[in-house]
Amino acid sequence: MNHLHHAEPVQAPDHECGSHSHNHEKAHQLQTSCESCACAAVAFEPIAAPSQGKAETWHIPNMDCPVEEKEIRQVLAGIQGIHSLSFHLSSRSLIIDASEAAKEKAREAIKKAGFKPETIEAKKAGPGHDHAQSRPAWKLGIAFAIALSVEILHFSAPETFLFQIPAFILAVSAIVLAGASVYFNGLRSLLRGQLNISALMAVAVTGAFILGQWAEAAMVMVLYAIAELIEAHCVDRARHAIRKLLSLAPKTAELRLPDGQWDQTPVENILPGQAIRVKPGERIPLDGIVLSGHSAVNQMPITGESIPVAKILGDTVYAGSINESGVLELGVTAPANDTLLARIITTVEQAQEKRAPIQRFIDRFAAIYTPAIFAIALAVAALAPFLAGWAWQDAFYRALVLLVIACPCALVIATPLTVVSGLTAAARDGILIKGGIYLEEARKLKAIAFDKTGTITQGHPVLVAVEVTAKTASRERILNWAAAMTSRSNHPVSRAIFKGIQSDDESGAIENVTETAGKGVEAIIGSNKLALGSAGWMNERGLITPELDARLQAWEESGYTVSLLASGNAVLALFAVADMIRANSAEAVKTLISRKIAPVMLTGDNPLTAQAIASQAGITEVKSGLLPQDKLAAIETLRAQYRHIAMVGDGINDAPALAAADIGIAMGGAGTDIAMETADIVIMNDDLRRVADLIHLSRQTFRTLQQNIGIALGIKLIFFALALIGQTSMWMAVFADVGATLIVVGNGLRLLRWKSRFTSA
């Protein structure tokens, strides 16, 4: 089931995704493939250029945000022999495909830029080590105590040479303990013409020393280092929250050996096709199919459902789920590194790398903002003494304060952390979102188009009504005949009738079974020649009376498919079969309407059935009798009417429409692989109420993004004004920036506590 992987080319241009023209082209390709019955041949992953070297994964502990990724890209830009670069901020890693000589040059260039690449095997690349570990907390504690003592000396000791010497020594000690690497990295960045945060800190500290402000220099560096430590821990918490799900899957499993004995075996040593045993109360270690036993399984880590699901012979179970009751023997279907749980985590991590539109805007804004503040600071230092009459030393100091304020940390971290928290919360609730863009854009939806079969309905017919019309045989005997007639057919309607009757008595041997495609089946049971089939087929036989026709019409208007059992010239019984509406569909539609989102049904079914199901679901706008290309055209029409639309579907015939919609949403339980590959979002438990949850989460995420950006910019504007009138110091500016960073980080992490507003049914 590789449909959960949502691949993208390495070094893809950072542009807006999901454009109408791009979606339409993708939809046309899918439509063509579907029409030619070659869906399995559709390639969803980009074809990469052939590698001429060996790809390696490098862990870079202090690569935290897009600004640092950009720095590394810049230093590697001129190196010949690099074929591709793929950055993953969620794991602080870089996959580099290059010749050995180019790798060596790249490693040295990254080190010179102030980063520490550590070569690791790609398959072993995990979430990485905390950035904070490179600067232990105890060192920062000592550095803060020293910096505080320098502040005390500055305010209490007379400004004599005797007291300045210990202040100078203590300040240098604090800077060395807290951020010597930051200082020298900043100097190297300045030599390369880069204005990153390290460069700003280096300029501020150097300027403070030139002015004799030892206490300012020490406190600036120490507060910045503490801010980095806290920020790194918070970012790790958000980025690695989803990976904690991996710990839910046991590390060992009870494996059946060739001699029939059971042995505890590490899961990584167990191969697909082998059998494992899971006892009541244990977590399921690997994906598998039930070979024997039956139980209730809690699938909350996978689907977000809180109510256990019954599992019997042939059913699929997933790693990380909890076996609630009976003993299960399972046939393993995937290795430990390719379970559905592992693929969900991989998909979410890949989604974290795809920046939402507001995140790309902030990245571009920060790239302009920092140089602009730097230019203003230079202007203050050079021109304020002439234009405002400030003393040179005062102007220089205020310019340094402005440089500290220019730190874009809170602004840059505000968006990715919030988006990552939203993606993680959604995944834990059974909503798999393949990119931050879809999480952000879902709030704009004005209409949602739903496929009928398998989306609004359960996707398989069930027997809903039986009416016996004959008086020549008992009801029990007639039902037994119907069971015998349908027991040998694989047609969905026949299977529904057989399962609904649940009879083991065939009332005599069945002979001369003949099935006519699209019509029904004939057979002889005992001395009775019977036929079971569609109303049209019975009408051809002249068996439909006006009274019976009226009854058939009433059932068909209710959305039922009716089959009739006849013997000779008499109809014995009517069997109404229907694909029943899902239990939560009506509630989901009602919730969407309350949020001013228009629901629309797109289906290939006949108008009567479509209208009946739509009425039960509460949908008034229905388009029926649609082929895949018709659904695609309907999506374009709806876009012209509503501007922002989503498509929810589960089948191959929905793939073109899923691709053409602004957001494609697939049903993960009942859906086909191609639908889930094409979709931007997958609802893992097939509960349509998760669509309403998605929109609620999207709106909450966007509100949080707005709050964080407002907080970050607001605090900077306040201190910018205070700096110009000389009412703040460098360390106070750093302290304010630290405060802003912690506020936006904490606000973004609140999304990790987001829960569905609905209880699972």
Let me know whether 563 and 620 are in one domain.
no
Same domain? 530 vs 440: no
How many CB atoms are located within 10 Å of the residue 728 CB? Answer: 21
pLDDT, tens digit (0-9, with 9 covering 90-100), for 746-756 = 888 888 888 88
Q: Is the pLDDT of residue 11 over 80?
A: no
Same domain, 61 and 151: no
Tokens of 54: 């060996």
Q: Could you give the 3-state DSSP secondary structure of residue 149?
A: helix
Tally of domains in the chain: 5
| Together in a domain, 452 and 599 | yes
Residue 448 sits in the same domain as residue 466: no
569 with 592, same domain: the answer is no
Contacts of 493 (CB under 8 A, 6+ apart): 461, 561, 563, 577
Least confident of 347-351, 456-460, 641-645, 751-755: 347-351
Instruction: Give the residue from 542, 558, 578 where a domain finishes.
Output: 578
Last residue of a domain, one of 578, 603, 629: 578
**Residue 506 pLDDT more than 70?**
no
The CATH code of the domain that includes 741 is 3.40.50.1000
Closest CA to 406 of 375, 365, 370: 370
* Distance in angstroms (rounded) separating the CA atoms of residues 609 and 461: 13
Do residues 452 and 507 both lie within one domain? Answer: no
Give the integer Cα–Cα distance in Å for 301 and 427. 9
Q: Pick from 687, 671, 677: which is nearest to 589 by CA? A: 687
Of 617, 693, 691, 598, the C-alpha closest to 650 is 691
Q: Which residues contact 330 (CB under 8 A, 6 or more apart)?
A: 275, 276, 277, 278, 284, 286, 288, 289, 290, 291, 317
Residue 67 lies in a domain: yes
Residue 601: pLDDT band (50, 70, 90) is very high
In which element (H, E) is residue 463 found?
Answer: strand 462-468
What token pair was written down for 613?
């199901």
184-206 pLDDT, tens digit per residue, is: 878 887 887 777 677 777 888 88
pLDDT band at 14 (very low <50, low <70, confident <90, very high): very low
Examine the domain organization and report whether 219 and 203 are in the same domain.
yes
pLDDT band at 245 (very low <50, low <70, confident <90, very high): low
Q: Which of 580, 614, 581 lies closest to 599, judged by CA? A: 614
Please name which of 557, 570, 563 lies closest in space to residue 537, comparing C-alpha atoms: 563
Task: Tell me the two tokens of residue 588.
Answer: 């989901």
Nearest residue to 347 via CA among 409, 432, 229: 432
Q: Does residue 267 surpass a pLDDT of 80?
A: yes
Give buried/exposed letters for 268-304 (b at 16+ CB in 10 A, else e): eebeeebbbbbeeebbbbbbbebeebebebbbbbbbb
CATH label of the domain that carries residue 294:
2.70.150.10
Q: CATH number of the domain that 115 lies in?
A: 3.30.70.100
Q: What is the DSSP letter of 320?
A: T
> Is 231 part of a structural domain of the chain?
yes
pLDDT tier at 329 (50, 70, 90 boundaries)? Answer: very high
Q: What percent of the chain has pLDDT over 90?
A: 14
Q: Please state the three-class secondary structure of 499-537 as a single string.
A: HHHCCCCCCCCEEEEEEECCCEEEEEECCEEEEEEEHHH
Q: 200: Cβ–Cβ under 8 A, 6 or more apart, which residues?
A: 186, 370, 374, 403, 404, 406, 407
Mean pLDDT: which of 56-60, 151-155, 231-235 is highest? 56-60
CA distances in angstroms from 594 to 440, 471, 617, listed in the order given: 20, 51, 14
pLDDT band at 157 (very low <50, low <70, confident <90, very high): low
What pLDDT digit, counting tens, does each position of 642-689 carry? Answer: 999 999 988 777 878 888 889 999 887 655 566 777 788 888 878 889
Residue 213 lies in a domain: yes
What per-residue confidence (pLDDT) applies to 358?
A: 64
- Which residues are paired to 275 by β-bridges? 331
Answer with the residue of higher pLDDT: 507 or 371. Answer: 371
Domain that holds residue 33: 1-9+16-47+414-458+582-761
pLDDT of residue 52: 46
Contacts of 598 (CB under 8 A, 6+ apart): 446, 447, 448, 621, 642
Lookup: tokens for 757: 């507003």
Do 746 and 630 belong together in one domain? yes
User: For residue 491, what are the contacts with CB-CB under 8 A and spacing of at least 6?
Assistant: none
Same domain flag for 588 and 718: yes
- Residue 152: the pLDDT is 79
Instruction: Report whether pLDDT(210) > 90.
Output: no
pLDDT of residue 126: 41
Catalytic residue among 236, 287, 451, 662: 451
Residue 392 lies in a domain: no
Q: Is position 21 within any domain? A: yes
Q: Which of 701, 696, 657 is nearest to 675 (CA)?
A: 657
Other CB atoms within a 10 A radius of the CB of residue 531 amount to: 23
Q: Does 451 qualify as catalytic in the annotation?
A: yes
Alpha-carbon distance of 21 to 646, in angstroms, equals 16
Residues 638, 736, single domain; the answer is yes
Q: Which of 565, 559, 642 is nearest to 598 (CA)?
A: 642
Q: Is residue 99 part of a domain?
A: yes
Which residues are paired to 119 by β-bridges? 58
What CA–CA distance (Å, rounded) separates 668 from 683?
Answer: 5
Strand order in the sheet with 295-298: 309-311, 295-298, 322-323
Residues 563 and 573: their CA atoms lie apart, in Å, by 9
- Between CA 163 and CA 33 the distance in angstroms is 81
- Asked whether residue 278 carries a pLDDT value surpassing 90, the answer given is yes
pLDDT at res. 508: 57
Final residue of a domain: which of 518, 543, 578? Answer: 578
Q: How many CA atoms lie within 13 A of 295 on its CB side?
A: 28
Query: For tokens 């992953």, what's the residue?
Result: 45
Task: Kindly state the percentage of the chain with pLDDT values over 70.
Answer: 79
Strands 598-602 and 447-451: parallel
Whether the per-residue pLDDT at 242 is higher than 90: the answer is: no
Q: How much is the pLDDT for 355?
A: 57
Which amino acid appears at position 335 of this protein? P
Tell me the pLDDT band of 46, cut-offs 50, 70 and 90.
very low
Q: How far apart are CA 448 and CA 600, in angstroms?
A: 6
- What mean pLDDT comes out for the span 442-465? 88
SS3 per residue for 622-686: EECCCCHHHHHHHHHHHHHHHCCEEEEECCHHHHHHHHHCCEEEEECCCCCHHHHHHCCEEECCC
- Rounded CA-CA distance 423/128 in Å is 20
Place of tokens 């959960």: 4
For residue 401, is it within any domain? no
Confirm if 726 and 394 have CB atoms less than 8 A apart.
Answer: yes
- The CATH number of the domain holding residue 507 is 3.40.1110.10
Residues 598 and 640 in one domain: yes
Taking the alpha carbons of 414, 422, 595, 614 in that order, is the dihedral positive or negative? Answer: positive
Q: Per-residue pLDDT averaged across 112-141, rounded?
A: 61
Answer yes or no: is 344 within a domain. no
pLDDT score, position 163: 67
- Dump pLDDT digits (tens) for 689-702: 999 999 999 999 99
